C-alpha cells in the first residue's frame, strides 16, 4: 500500500492516525512511519484497511438519523 492510498483509506474510514494507533493498540510513531512510507505496510494491515475503506465508500454517510429532525 502506498502512503497516498494509506491516507486515502483513513479519509474514507474517517480516522486519524491517532484513531488507527488506538484501534491497533500500537505506538502513534509506528502509524506515522507507515503514513510517511518510512516502513513497509504489513500485508494483513493493508488488506484490512482496504476492506474498511471500500465498505465505507460503498455505504456512504447516512442521511437519515435521529437528533437532526429526520426520521
User: Following DSSP, what letter does each residue of the chain receive, concatenated?
Assistant: --HHHHHHHHHHHT--HHHHHHHHT--HHHHHHHHHTSSPPPHHHHHHHHHHHHHHHHH---S--TTTT--
Question: pTM for this one?
Answer: 0.79
pLDDT score of 71 more than 60? no
**Domains of the chain by residue range:** 3-59
CA nearest 4: which of 49, 43, 52? 49
In angstroms, the CA 54 to CA 43 distance is 16
Neighbours of 12 (CB within 10 A): 17
State residue 66's pLDDT score: 65
For the chain, give the percent of residues with pLDDT over 70: 90
Amino acid at each position: 500500500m502506498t502512503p497516498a492510498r494509506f491516507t486515502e483509506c483513513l479519509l474514507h474510514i474517517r480516522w486519524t492516525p491517532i484513531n488507527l494507533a488506538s484501534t491497533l493498540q500500537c505506538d502513534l510513531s509506528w502509524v506515522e512511519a507507515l503514513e510517511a512510507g518510512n516502513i513497509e505496510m504489513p500485508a494483513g494491515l493493508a488488506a484490512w484497511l482496504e476492506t474498511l475503506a471500500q465498505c465505507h465508500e460503498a455505504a456512504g454517510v447516512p442521511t437519515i438519523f435521529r437528533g437532526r429532525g429526520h426520521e
